[in-house]
């Protein structure tokens, strides 16, 4: 799992197609600067891509967090030396504690023998649905361990962990009623969901593969809340659901060497 363990902060090195980049790595491409929001390989950075697609465009100087600033989806800030990505538009949400933000860093995989504790006995609670996150990578520990145990192929591990970011976001939409997406934010979310679903359909025709979603939605309540979260995002589309053929057929499988 060397792709996961070799975390280091790139100092704006030129993007290379055959290099695997970790979450939080910085590269230059076409005279622009990008930060990796997923574990990327062969995924070309583009200013037009949303943060769900693996890269986010940033300025030469990334600012410190300002509590009085209005942030929109895709902005990146520094907090105590860490990079944080704004998943949704907001103001006044603290990056280190708020679901509106996601820490862009990889501090290493969890040890396989680690015990994952649950603070609440309520299966519907956020503590249980989102789980613990000891290494603060925005992936629930139980899923991270399940991925490393289930998939021996490093590309499948990378894909599954990348998928978990959007699964978590959908859960958060249902668990936090204060999150109301702009139409554009909801469109970007569904664009990414379609790309992951299409990829899993492709893989399902070629091999017997345990779907990462079945590992993530590990209880009936997790499955129900995921569906409710999708409904929340759908309502935020305000009826604008005429997706193009390109969006409906795009697959993220092109970025993985299975």
Which residue is it, tokens 């025709």? 205
Contact status, residue 165 vs residue 252, Cβ threshold 8 Å = no
Residue 5 scores a pLDDT above 50: no
pLDDT for 84 equals 97
What's the CA gap between 130 and 147, in Å, rounded? 16
Residue 223 scores a pLDDT above 60: yes
- Which of the four pLDDT bands, split at 50, 70 and 90, describes residue 15? very high
CA distances for 173 relative to 12, 15, 231, angstroms: 33, 33, 9
Q: Measured on CA atoms in the order 184, 178, 125, 220, is the torsion positive or negative?
A: negative
Which residue is it, tokens 């501090």? 107
Among 21, 43, 45, residue whose Cα is nearest residue 33: 45
CA distances for 176 relative to 74, 79, 169, 229, angstroms: 19, 23, 10, 10
What's the CA gap between 100 and 136, in Å, rounded? 15
pLDDT for 77 equals 97
What's the CA gap between 130 and 133, in Å, rounded? 9
Show the DSSP H helices in 104-253 as ranges: 126-130, 141-150, 154-175, 183-206, 212-216, 220-235, 245-249
Domains in the chain: boundaries:
1-108, 109-258
pLDDT tens across 226-248, in order? 999 999 999 998 776 677 777 78
pLDDT tens across 95-140, in order? 999 999 999 986 666 666 666 666 667 889 999 999 999 889 999 9
* Type and span of the H or E element at 32: strand 32-36
pLDDT tens across 110-120, in order? 666 666 666 66
Residue 194 scores a pLDDT above 70: yes
The CATH superfamily holding the domain 1-108 is Carbohydrate-binding module superfamily 5/12 (2.10.10.20)
């Amino acid at each position: 799992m060397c792709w996961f363990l070799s975390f280091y902060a790139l100092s704006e090195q030129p993007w290379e197609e055959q290099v695997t980049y970790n979450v939080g790595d910085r590269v230059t491409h076409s005279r622009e600067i990008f930060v990796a929001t997923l574990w990327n390989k062969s995924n070309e950075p583009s200013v037009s891509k949303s943060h769900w697609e693996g890269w986010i465009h940033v300025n030469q100087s990334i600012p410190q967090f300002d509590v009085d600033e209005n942030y929109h989806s895709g902005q990146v800030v520094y907090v105590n030396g860490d990079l944080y990505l704004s998943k949704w538009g907001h103001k006044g949400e603290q990056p280190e504690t708020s679901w509106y933000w996601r820490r862009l860093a990889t501090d290493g995989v969890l040890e396989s023998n680690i015990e994952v504790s649950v603070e609440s006995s309520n299966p519907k609670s956020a503590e249980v649905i989102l789980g613990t996150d000891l290494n603060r990578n925005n992936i629930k520990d139980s899923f991270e361990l399940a991925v490393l145990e289930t998939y021996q192929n490093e590309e499948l591990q990378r894909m599954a962990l990348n998928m978990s970011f959007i699964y978590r976001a959908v859960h958060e939409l249902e668990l936090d009623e204060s999150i109301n997406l702009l139409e554009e934010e909801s469109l970007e979310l569904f664009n990414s969901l379609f790309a992951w679903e299409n990829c899993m359909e492709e893989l399902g025709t070629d091999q017997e593969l345990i779907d990462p979603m079945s590992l993530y939605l590990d209880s009936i309540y997790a499955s129900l809340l995921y569906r409710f979260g999708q409904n929340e995002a759908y309502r935020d589309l305000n009826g604008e659901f005429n997706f193009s053929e390109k969006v409906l057929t795009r697959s993220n499988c092109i970025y993985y060497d299975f």
